[in-house]
A = this chain, B = another copy of it.
């Protein structure tokens, strides 16, 4: 399978430590050689030698748009609608506010009760600030979302891939149903952009946000992105109106003036070093397409599931990721009472997975650097860890700050 893999050559673009199988690229993508080279250039030639003049000379000032335009085709966005800035959380606050500004006769924001927490927290922050008569978070179970849509809802905010279970939402059909009821939609692509095909323009998505440090391999805490459908840019208002999002920032005028473009979603000065890392890593996507990535992702997850299923000693691992291709993201999650300790023991064996409270063992499958042979080897090690109870020690059971 590796011999026939059309993405096989991409692995050489990554720096990957020896004796490690990295099944956590869905949480933090690994370093690319291009990122390393770029950081050296940004530090030495740009910041070091050219100092402040680099804002023009090395286009630092255009970096948020340059990076946005690289992300755009990967999520099916035409030009002028994606910009790189801030964090997913901050960008959520911008788009929730913006969506509410476009739907002023309503005030409810519907989401899923097990959405990634920051999506809920940012909405709660806006709710506390504005009062419930202006912004009210309403949550429902995943299976009740479509039935919960009605004409009292202003905004539907969902995450394409559930961070725990890996289940995919059908953006197109949900967006269509929401629009029929006059509801604007925000899609959080944090756990899918770069791994799952998305067609934000074609599917009529109003707003989307997503992450730079997962499948885009932009480095720890890489800046995020925000997509806004062009038709909304003129009428919306978003409150984080910082100087970099002004129509003419270097006129230093006392009154905020909104630019007509996606630049209105910029706020403060962009983090040039971090954003440059992301910019460099994104070049890995230029000569491939997201369908190729998706095809390999499904083959990798199919193989992993099949190998786990074949092994009787692993039958205590209860899969909570859907088996159907069109419902499965690029990650697989199993429940197990000892999920935390198993995860730590696997890391000690060189297989990096992650744990999500309270009892989820999560494996991410990033197709640009993983080989099918890695899947086979990682399941072998998982079998060793579980069947021999190698995880059953204080060393692996004691909790760390971040897992």
Report which A residues bind B (CB closer than 8 A). Answer: 15, 17, 20, 22, 24, 27-28, 30-31, 35-36, 39, 42-44, 46-56, 60-62, 86-90, 93, 97, 113-118, 120-122, 124-126, 128-130, 139, 164, 213, 219-224, 237-244, 246, 249-256, 267-275, 277, 347, 352, 354, 356-357, 400-403
Is the pair A31, B43 in contact by a Cβ cutoff of 8 Å?
yes
Is the pair B121, A242 in contact by a Cβ cutoff of 8 Å?
yes
Is the pair A255, B124 in contact by a Cβ cutoff of 8 Å?
yes
CA distance A250 to B357 in the complex (A): 7
Is the pair A51, B36 in contact by a Cβ cutoff of 8 Å?
no
- Top 4 A-B pairs, shortest CB-CB distance: A87-B268, A89-B242, A89-B268, A220-B272
13 contacts between A and B (CB under 8 A): A22-B51, A31-B48, A42-B220, A55-B220, A60-B220, A60-B221, A89-B240, A89-B243, A117-B249, A125-B239, A128-B237, A139-B254, A273-B277
Known: A60-B220, A126-B239, A239-B125. A254 touches B114 (CB 8 A): yes
Question: Which residues of the partner chain B approach A270 to less than 8 Å between Cβ atoms?
Answer: 221
Sample of 13 more A-B contacts, CB < 8 Å, known A87-B268, A121-B243, A220-B273: A27-B52, A31-B44, A39-B43, A56-B400, A61-B401, A87-B242, A89-B243, A89-B244, A89-B267, A120-B255, A120-B256, A122-B240, A129-B239
Question: Which residues of the partner chain B approach A253 to less than 8 Å between Cβ atoms?
Answer: 117
Question: Which residues of the partner chain B approach A54 to less than 8 Å between Cβ atoms?
Answer: 220
Chain B residue at smallest Cβ distance from A56: B400
Is the pair B24, A52 in contact by a Cβ cutoff of 8 Å?
yes
* CB-contact partner of A47 in B48, B128, B220, B250, under 8 A: B220
Known: A240-B90, A271-B271, A275-B221. A36 touches B43 (CB 8 A): yes
Is the pair B352, A53 in contact by a Cβ cutoff of 8 Å?
yes
Question: Which residues of the partner chain B approach A246 to less than 8 Å between Cβ atoms?
Answer: 117, 121
Is the pair B93, A239 in contact by a Cβ cutoff of 8 Å?
yes
Is the pair B35, A51 in contact by a Cβ cutoff of 8 Å?
no
